[in-house]
């Protein structure tokens, strides 16, 4: 999980995303996608 959070922070930094709401929504989208693939 820590690796995912580190990658997400790097993604946000590279894209210039500073809004926490966008960060949370984007991270949830990635986690949902991963969960659906796993399930």
Q: Give the pLDDT of residue 14.
A: 98
Per-residue model confidence as pLDDT tens digits over 7-16: 999 999 999 9
pLDDT (0 to 100) of residue 19: 97
**pLDDT given for residue 36 in this prediction:** 82
pLDDT score at 12 = 97
Query: What is d(CA 17, CA 39) in angstroms, rounded to the nearest whole number?
Result: 30
* Range of the structural domain that residue 9 is part of: 2-38
pLDDT beneath 70: ranges in the chain: none
Rounded Cα distance between 39 and 13, Å, is 30
Please report the pLDDT score of residue 2 as a whole number.
Answer: 82
CB atoms within 10 A of CB 31: 13
- Report the number of distinct structural domains present in the chain: 1
- Residue 2, classed as helix, strand or coil, is helix
């Amino acid at each position: 999980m820590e690796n995912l959070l580190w990658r997400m922070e790097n993604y946000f930094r590279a894209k210039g995303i500073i809004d926490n709401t966008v960060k949370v929504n984007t991270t949830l989208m990635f986690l949902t996608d991963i969960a659906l693939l796993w399930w």
